[in-house]
Amino acid sequence: MSAAVPAAVSVAGPRVPRVNIDDLVWQKDWHGGVPPRLVEEILERGGLEVLVEAARERGDWFCAEGAVRGLCADGEFARAWAVVEPFTATGWQPAIRAGADVLLRWGRVEQALELAHPPGPGAEPGDAWPDYAEVLVGAGRVDEAIDALVPYLGERGVLQALVRITEGQDRDDRLLELLTPVAEEFSRDPRQCGIGDLWYALSARTTVLERSGRADEAMSLLGADVAARRYGPENTVDFHAELLARHGRIEPLRELATRTRNPKAVRAYVTTLEDLGRAAEAETYLRGFHDPAAGPDNFMVALQEFLIRQDRLDEAVQVVGHTFDDLYESLLQSTMILMAEQGHPDKAVQLTEGRSPEFLEENERYWLRSNRWWLMGEAGRSREAIAEIEALPPDEVDDLEVTIAWLLARDDRTEEAVALLRRCPGSQAATDLARLLVRQGRCAEAVAVIPDVSTQRAENRRLLGKGKEAE
């Protein structure tokens, strides 16, 4: 059902003929159209009008989102509404929410509420009722927002929404009146976890207790729940550990981590010790969990991450190095990424060398080479990586031209990269080309080279079809 667009605030402007729900859902699910990160770069480089045009002419949702943000930041609410209104007319919930936000900021409160109101009281909540409640809060009608969600407390996403929208609204006492019986119902019969968000009632209740200054009570409740082993989709041990860490309760946190051997609790205890300048104590504790002869586990990875944070890279590699040639449980790739993230891509490249013939046969073509070339580019060795690629038969390198173009750009040979990408088919090459053009300030040209949504969807169907044929 299409949402009713508030006629009182209609703004003249061309409609978007290509907008339909199927295309919008596909864009959101697959990051289709102009990708969100590219939209951000276009905004940062002053390309607001390019996004406005792309939203109008291409029906591109991420461009519309970016344009709305930019226009609202400039106080141009009428233009922002003109951009988003054709999308809201489809009845697609993310567009409804974005349109209601524009109307709220524009001061059109009643029209925002009219737009955001779900079709009827019996409608499935989905995001519609939480979104409507958030608009009510934006209109200063907090109690009405809570009332709107009360009938749906057992539905997925509603508890989290209720806690989120009431933060800072001085309604915590009322919220606890609602959450306490729901949490107690869970405590009496954890098998009821299948009812929507019941598993989240405990963490929702303790979140409200903590933010209202009753952290000790929250910790006590979570401690009792952990003792009763009422674990679910949101592991209460994780939540309890984070709460203890936030409040610096070192000894209870250590006891929790040691007793449960929960990886997140162990990590929370270790990082809290590090923050207090007690790294040696943290290391001793972690090594108590680490079995050098064992296969990969969370404690081995936690110790490795700790050593990398301490800039002890050789030791970090040594902890997990015995797994690197394992065909099924290798920690090689994650170690390479960790080292790159810590600013050591050259050391990560070294890990790709000296691997066993069996490991290379299984992994080299599928991911090891591409990771190596990426790391070499990050390490300033693009020309060396290109030479390696060019020495291989072309059919042994996936995305050959795209990979070389990326390396050329890393080597500050941008025009060569642009020229190469212009000759390459496919959405990935087009997106890479667009990114280079944006960085040169050529935003309109960048959007123009990206295939429209219908073309991208057709390409996606072809690729999925090929994948099924290969199975």
Nearest to 93 by CA among 139, 55, 61: 61
Contact indicator for 382, 411 with CB cutoff of 8 Å: yes
Per-residue pLDDT for 216 more than 50? yes
Per-residue pLDDT for 122 more than 50? yes
245-270 CB burial, b ≥16 within 10 A, e <16? beeebeebbbebbeebebbbbbbbbb
- Give the pLDDT score at 234: 54
- Give the pLDDT score at 17: 46
Contact indicator for 81, 11 with CB cutoff of 8 Å: yes
Q: Where are the domains of the chain?
A: 214-289, 290-368, 380-452
Q: If you average pLDDT over each of 218-232, 290-304, 351-365, which comes out highest? A: 351-365
Nearest to 132 by CA among 108, 160, 165: 165
Mean pLDDT of 76-81: 98
- Give the pLDDT score at 161: 94
Per-residue pLDDT for 253 more than 90? yes
109-113, 260-264, 281-285: lowest mean pLDDT where? 260-264
pLDDT band of residue 177 (cuts 50, 70, 90) is very high
Mean pLDDT taken over the chain: 90
List all residues 6 or more positions away from 341 whose beta carbon is below 8 Å from its beta carbon.
none
Distance of CA 236 to the CA centre of its chain: 22
pLDDT band of residue 1 (cuts 50, 70, 90) is very low
27-31, 128-132, 178-182, 370-374: lowest mean pLDDT where? 178-182
Q: Evaluate if pTM is beyond 0.75.
A: yes
- Give the pLDDT score at 153: 86
The predicted-structure confidence for 10-31, as pLDDT tens digits, reads as follows: 444 444 446 899 999 999 999 9
Distance of CA 144 to the CA centre of its chain: 31
